Structure 1
Amino acid sequence: MNEADALDLVQYAIWTVLTASGPAVAIAMVVGIVIALFQALTQIQEVTLTFVPKILAILLAVALTGPFVGGQISAFSNVIFDHIEHGFHNG
């Protein structure tokens, strides 16, 4: 394995992490902003008001985007296993 192969695998790993975590993080951000605006407008400062809707929204997002996330992780795993199977060429 040369430096180019290692760099490609690391780049693909980072891209996989970003695409797999993207839906849950995006939903958490949107719900957090909506709740913060609601709290600012109504001046309700209840701590559980921030956590419970976020948890529910993230669980729903993970349930809905599970096949997409699984596909991304599976594709990355296949690339890694192909590299292992065919061997790394020394540069």
Structure 2
Amino acid sequence: MDSDQVVYISGRALEVTLMVAGPMLGAALVFGLMIAIFQAVTQIQEMTLTFIPKIVAVFIAAMVFASWILHTLVSFTTDLYQSIPSMVAGG
């Protein structure tokens, strides 16, 4: 296995990680922004008001995108396992 293969696999792993984490992070960002605007408008500065809705939003996003996340991870893992013979053989 040469350095080009390591760089390719590492880059692909980072890409898959960002794709899998994206929906949950996006939901947390959107709900966090909406809560921040609500707090600025109403001048309510309760700390638990920010955490609970974001946790619920991340949980819902994880449930909605669970099948896609699983498919993405299984596809990446399958491709990685299938490429092992060519890595070991040096080709």
TM bin, normalised by shorter chain, reads over 0.9
RMSD over aligned Cα, in angstroms?
Answer: 1.2
Please give the per-residue CA displacement for 1:47-66, whole angstroms capped at 9, x wherever unaligned.
11001100111100000000
TM-score (norm 2): 0.92
- The unaligned stretches of length 5 or more in structure 2 are none
* 1:61 paired residue number: 61
Q: Aligned with 2:65: secondary structure? A: helix
11-20 vs 1-10, greater mean Cα deviation: 1-10
Residue identity opposite 2:71 in structure 1: G
Residues 6-85 of structure 1: matches in 2 within 5 Å? 6-84=6-84
Residue identity opposite 2:64 in structure 1: L
Please give the per-residue CA displacement for 1:53-85, whole angstroms capped at 9, x wherever unaligned.
00111100000000111111111101111122x
Instruction: Kindly report structure 1 stretches of 4+ aligned residues shifted beyond 6 Å.
Output: none
- Larger RCO: 1 or 2 (CA < 8 Å, sep 6+): 1
Q: Distance in 2 between matches of 1:79 and 1:4?
A: 17
Q: CA deviation at 1:90?
A: 2.6
Number of corresponding residues:
90
Aligned sequence identity (%)? 33
- The unaligned stretches of length 5 or more in structure 1 are none
TM-score (norm 1): 0.92
